[in-house]
Amino acid sequence: MPTVLVTGGAGFLGSHLCDRLIERGDDVICLDNFFTGNKENIRHLLGHERFELVRHDIVHPFYLEVDRIFNLACPASPEAYQYNPIKTIKTSTVGMVNVMGLAKRCGARVLHASTSEVYGDPQVHPQTEDYWGHVNPIGPRSCYDEGKRIAESLLMNYHEAHGMEVRIIRIFNTYGPRMDPNDGRVISNFITQALRNEDITVYGEGTQTRSFCYCSDLIEGMLRLMDNDEHTGPVNIGNPVENTMLELAEAVIAAVGSKSKVTHMPLPKDDPQRRCPDITRAKKWLGWEPQVALKDGLQNTIDWYRKLIEQG
C-alpha cells in the first residue's frame, strides 16, 4: 500500500481526506502545525495501525519517505490567513519548496490544494481554468491569493525542470462538518449564529455570490485527480450552483428553524463580487460532478454544529 503524506491533515478538508485514505487501505502520515487545525478532527484515527501524526511546520524542511503527497497546509479562512499574512506567504512559498524538495527526493506525486482565489475578483464568469484572474497584488487578500499563485508556478516549474508528477486542483468554497466554528467563514458564521438565534451578519448588501461544495464531493474530486495518470491540471473542483449571501442566510435560517434576523455589516476590502466554477474540465477529465445538494449538505453541517454547541 502506498504511503501518503497529507500536509494540513488535521484541518477541515485534510481530516476528511485522511479518513478516506485510511478507509481505502493507504498508509497515512498526517502532518500539521495546528495553526488552524484541531486534534479533535483526527482523534478517532489516533492509534490506527496505518495512521501517523507528525506535528511540524512545512516552512521548515522535513524528511519522510512517502509515495504521494497531498499538500493542504495553509490557513483557508480570510480571518485566519490575514492574522499573520507574512506567515501565510511563507507557507505557500517556502513551505511549497520544501514539499517539492521532499517529493523530488522521494519521486512522489504531489497534489496541491490551490484555490478559486487565484482568479481574484473575477471579471470572467463562470471561471474556467484558462482565465488568468484579477488579483490585487497588494491588497489584504494578496498574501493568500499571490501565495497560491506562486505555489502553482512552483509546481509547474518543478514538473518542467525535473519531470515530477504534479496535480493542481482549484478548490471553490467548500463546507461541511469539522469547519472551525470560529474561523469567520460565511457558512460557519451563519450556522452558529442561527443556532444561537443571534443576528445573521451579512457583509455588504449580500448580493455577492459564492458556489458551495460539500466536503465529500470535494474529496472525491481530489482523489480522482491524484489517481489520474494523464492530467496535471489545474482542475476546478466546486459546485456550480451559485447563491447570493442573502439567499444563503435565508436557507440557513429556514434549515435551522431559527428566530435570527439578517443584519448588515461592512463589506471587507477586495471581497470578490461573484464566484462560480466552470466544471467542464472536471467532468471531462475525471467524470466528476458534485452529488450533494446545498440543502442536504447544510443539514448535515447544521446537525454537526448543533452537537458541538450542545457539548459546550
DSSP single-letter state for residue 286: H
Binding flag, residue 78, ligand UDP (CB under 6 A)? yes
- Yes or no: say if 177 and 301 are a contact pair by the CB < 8 Å rule: yes
**Residue 63 lies near ligand UDP (rule: CB under 6 A):** yes
Least CB distance to ligand UDP at residue 271 (A)? 5
**What one-letter code names the amino acid at 154?**
L
* CA separation for the pair 124, 192 (Å, rounded): 33
**CB of 59 or CB of 164, closer to ligand NAD:** 59
Q: Which stretch binds ligand NAD (CB under 6 A): 10-18, 46-54, 262-270, 302-310?
A: 10-18
Q: Is position 189 an interface residue for ligand NAD (rule: CB under 6 A)?
A: no
Nearest to ligand UDP by Cβ — which residue? 101
Provide the grid cell at 22.
485510511
- Asked if 185 interacts with ligand UDP (CB under 6 A), we say yes
Angle at 143 between CA 242 and CA 216, to 5 degrees: 40
Question: Is the Cβ of residue 99 or residue 258 nearer to ligand NAD in the bound state?
Answer: 99
* Phi-psi sector, 254: left (phi>0), alpha (psi -120 to 50), beta: alpha
Listed residue (77, 87, 66) closest to 7, CA to CA: 66
Q: What residues pair up with 236 in beta bridges, in sequence order? A: 170
Positions in 24-53 near ligand NAD (CB under 6 A): 32-37
| Least distance between ligand NAD and beta carbon 178 (Å) | 8
C-alpha cell of 241? 450552483
User: How far, CA to CA in Å, does 104 sit from each of 30, 66, 92, 98, 188?
Assistant: 19, 11, 17, 10, 38
Binding test (CB under 6 A) with ligand NAD, winner from 171, 200, 279, 286: 171
Query: The C-alpha cell of 217 is what?
Result: 464531493
Q: Does 74 bind ligand NAD (CB under 6 A)?
A: yes
Among 53, 54, 97, 255, binds ligand UDP (CB under 6 A): 97
Q: Is 15 helix (H, G, I), strand (E, B) or coil?
A: helix
Is 131 annotated in the active site? no
x/- mask, ligand UDP, residues 139-178, rule CB under 6 A, reads ----------------------------------x-----
Residues of the shown chain interacting with ligand UDP in the complex, contacts defined by CB under 6 A: 61-63, 77-78, 97-98, 100-102, 104-105, 173, 185-186, 189, 201-203, 208, 210, 245, 267-268, 271
